[in-house]
Structure 1
Amino acid sequence: MTLGILAALHDEVDGLIAAMRHEDARATTQTIGMRDYHCGTLHGQPVVLVLARVGKVAAAATTVTLIREFGVEGIVFTGLAGGVATEVGVGDIVVADATIQHDLDARPLFPRHEVPLLGQSVFPADPALTAALRQAVEGFLRDDLASEVPDGVLARFGIHAPKLHVGMIGSGDQFINSAMAVAGLRRDLPLLQAVEMEGAALAQICHEYGVPYALMRTVSDRADDAAHVDFPAFLRDVASHYSSAVLRRFLDARG
């Protein structure tokens, strides 16, 4: 089973590409639609790695290409998110059990959040892929975190005893950084754990093509007025290590 693995930013995927090239001397790269698709094996599993770039359109376009041009049979997205639920903190990991476009509003033609002509607003993640991803995250937090990210680095970002959360992730073409916006999301979508800018678009495409997906997000901020983290540093020093280590466990378990 060939998996497509996507991320939105360079630091989220560059380490994985380097690991693939180190492991698989026959790995190839194909450029389609201004994106480089890296095909080979990673931790012994056939994968296609790609930088999707930021936003719902970018994620949807990349997902279609992965499915139609490369025939991937499952898709995993990893990246950053802002925490919305009160118990979700910086440095925690959220694995989606479902996604929704929190900014989609075609009223009065269609109900709020519903994708026009699909009759659906919530797109469940694949249970098997999600369970495997959840197990990989649990193993990482229990056994690998201390060696992957030193305590001093975690403390620099205010991270203490990071936790796993499983629940709904919302996507929108906007960066959420106000307490008022977060309050509105909590009111309208009480099951929402975190927000980002790609996952629900990917999920819609996977739904339309019948391809399973799973989604993991590292929480970089609280999506409120205090969302001022040094994102390049957080990506480089924390989130990229989370993603690489979790995906290593996830792929190793598929062997």
Structure 2
Amino acid sequence: MRTAIVAAMQEELAAVLALMPHEGKEVAAGREFFVGDLHGREVVVVLSRIGKVAAATTATLLVERFHVDEIVFTGVAGGLAPGVDVGHVVVADRFLQHDLDASPIFPRFEVPLYGTSTFACDAALTARVAAAAARALPGVHLHRGLVVSGDRFVATTGESRALQAALPAALAVEMEGTAFAQVCHDCGVPFAAVRTISDRADDMAHIDFATFIRDVASRHSAAVVRALLA
């Protein structure tokens, strides 16, 4: 069983790599893939880069070149739903692209030719990730549900409120998860994602984000990965 661990930010990648006793590096499509073991489990660790296209490239390489059996994404997101606050953790059940709109040919948010707007995460793997997060981060508030992705950093209160109005079920917003979910759906590879809330996707997001990445996100990512694979 080979597990891919994908991080959104370089700080998170470094924290996960620090857990590995040894690893080899392979370069593909300009990305560094670290292949090794963690707690006796074979892993591939890679930085996805930012945005849906970069994420899709990374996911495809993990499946086609590195032959991973499952993919786990760990990173940060902006909170959308009321009560999803900075420091909370969201485990995604499903993903949607909030900036996809092929209307009037297809309904808003629906992926053309798929007949759906959402891609579900793997139920068994998601349950494992949620359990790992609960063990690794006791006392941290844990949410499960819809996470939405788009190719922009949501950093204004107006845009955040518009997303909440259009997608009231959305717990959080980020930039890569839906691309991973769609590629894994197409390839039949289990996918799960856990996101720590770094900001509220509002006018203060750009300030909160940098502080949170430095002080909290790296520790959360490493702790969840360690609990998942231990």
TM-score (norm 1): 0.87
Deviates more, 1:55-64 or 1:40-49: 40-49
Q: Which among 64, 68, 74 is matched to residue 64 of structure 2?
A: 68
Is 1:170 equivalent to 2:148 in the alignment? Answer: yes
Q: How far did 1:228 drift?
A: 3.5
> How far apart are the structure 2 equivalents of 1:230 and 1:189?
23
Instruction: Return 5+ residue gaps in structure 2 as ranges.
Output: none
Distance 2:71 2:133 in 1: 17
The residue type paired with residue 33 of structure 1 is A
Structure 1 counterpart of 2:86, from 85, 90, 93? 90
Cα distance in 2 between the residues matched to 1:9 and 1:28 = 20
State the alpha-carbon separation in 2 of the partners of residues 229 and 137 from structure 1: 26
**How far apart are the structure 2 equivalents of 1:177 and 1:248?**
31
Would you say the 8 A contact 2:148–2:172 is kept in 1?
A: yes
Runs of 4 or more above 2 Å deviation:
228-233
Deviations 1:125-182 (CA, angstroms, capped at 9, x unpaired): 111111111111111222xxxxxxxxxxxxxxxxxx6310001100000111122212
Q: TM-score normalized by structure 2?
A: 0.96
Amino acid paired to 1:80: V
2:98 equivalent among 96, 102, 111: 102
Q: Does 1:2 align with 2:6?
A: no
Distance 1:95 1:62 in 2: 21
| 1:48-105 C-alpha deviation (Å, 9 max, x unpaired) | 0001110000100000000000110110001110000001000000000000001111
* C-alpha contact 2:95 2:146 (8 A) present in aligned 1: yes
Partner residue of 1:17?
17
Number of residue pairs the alignment of both structures matches: 230
Matched with 1:214 is 192
**Rg (Cα) greater in structure:** 1
The DSSP-based 3-state class of the residue aligned with 2:85 is coil
2:227 paired residue number: 249
Please give the alpha-carbon distance, in whole angstroms, between the structure 1 residues aligned to 2:211 and 2:18: 19
Distance 1:231 1:179 in 2: 15
Q: What secondary structure, in the 3-state scheme, does the structure 1 residue paired with 2:82 have?
A: coil
Task: Give aligned-pair identity as a percent.
Answer: 50
Structure 1 residue runs of 5 or longer lacking an equivalent are: 143-160
3-state SS of the aligned residue for 2:223? helix
- The alignment yields a C-alpha RMSD, in angstroms, of 1.2
Within-5 A mapping of 1:177-192: 177-192=155-170
